[in-house]
Amino acid sequence: MENNNSFQVDPMGVAFAKAMEIFTYIGLAAMLIPGVIYLFGVRPFSDVHAVAAHWGEPSSQFWEHVNNMTVHGYSWFLSHLGYMDMLCIGGVAVLALVPLISIFAALLKAKGVYRPLLFLLLLEFAFAIVKPLILGGVGE
């Protein structure tokens, strides 16, 4: 008895899935590699013991207790990319952008009604990313 369950995936879905896969791997590597290096004490911005002691706190309290700093928007993170623990946050940022990148990849292949819907979804994600820059706050 032959099982002939063949199917085709729309190019838009393939583009979305491929972008999701590739950029997830990039984000994980960008988070894990500096993270392991940070745990060995190479070029830390934050003391690993202080980080562990304050890990469960809201972000504003965490950064105040660990590094005696107040954070707003993204500039604090971008100005410290030379440190391994900040590079880990860079990997998290890449992972946060994976849906945006994947939607953009799907948009390039989209046809018909999917094109404006994906464009609207892309705008929504982009606004969520820049919202802290416009309205302030870092999230709690």
Q: How far apart are CA 4 and CA 36, in angstroms?
A: 47
Q: How far is CA 10 from CA 77, 115, 129, in A?
A: 39, 13, 28
pLDDT, one tens digit per residue, over 43-67 is 888 888 888 898 898 888 888 888 8
- Decide: helix, strand or coil at residue 9: coil
Residue by residue, pLDDT tens for the chain (140 residues) are 566 778 888 999 999 999 999 999 999 999 999 989 988 888 888 888 888 898 898 888 888 888 888 876 666 777 888 888 888 888 888 998 999 999 999 999 999 999 999 999 999 988 888 887 777 655 54
Structure pTM? Answer: 0.74
CA–CA separation, 36 and 29 (whole Å): 10
